[in-house]
Amino acid sequence: KNEVEQSPQNLTAQEGEFITINCSYSVGISALHWLQQHPGGGIVSLFMLSSGKKKHGRLIATINIQEKHSSLHITASHPRDSAVYICAVSLTTGTASKLTFGTGTRLQVTL
C-alpha cells in the first residue's frame, strides 16, 4: 500500500464544473503539498499546508490532520486547468522538501 493515495486517478469535467481531488496518507507528516504538472512541463507548487484551509484564486486546499486526508478543489473549472495534480507529503522524520508523492490525478476539462 502506498503511503500517499490519490483519487480519482483520472477525471474528466466540463468547463465550469466544481472539481474535487482527494488525497489520503498513512504516515506522520509535517506538511502536505499540492503540485500541478502540465504534459511535458515542469512542476508547480500550488499549496503547502499543515492545517486548515488555503485558497488561491479558484483553487482551495483543505487538510484534516486527524483523518489524514486532504482535498484540492477547483471552482469554475477551465480547459487550462487540464493537468496532472499531485499530492505529496513531508514526513515528520524528514525535511520539508523531501517529499513522498502520490501517483497523481489526471484532469481533463473540456469545453
Partner 1 sequence: NAGVMQNPRHLVRRRGQEARLRCSPMKGHSHVYWYRQLPEEGLKFMVYLQKENIIDESGMPKERFSAEFPKEGPSILRIQQVVRGDSAAYFCASSPGVQGEAFFGQGTRLTVV
Please report, as ranges, the residues that interact with partner 1 according to CB under 8 A. Answer: 30, 33, 35, 40-45, 48, 86, 88, 94-104
At closest approach, how far in Å is the CB of 95 from partner 1?
Answer: 5
Nearer to partner 1, 23 or 77 (CB): 23
At closest approach, how far in Å is the CB of 40 from partner 1?
Answer: 8
At closest approach, how far in Å is the CB of 8 from partner 1?
Answer: 15
Do the beta carbons of residue 31 and residue 24 sit within 8 Å? no
Q: Quick one: cell of 35? A: 503540485
Strand order of the β-sheet with 59-64 is: 4-7, 19-25, 69-74, 59-64, 52-56
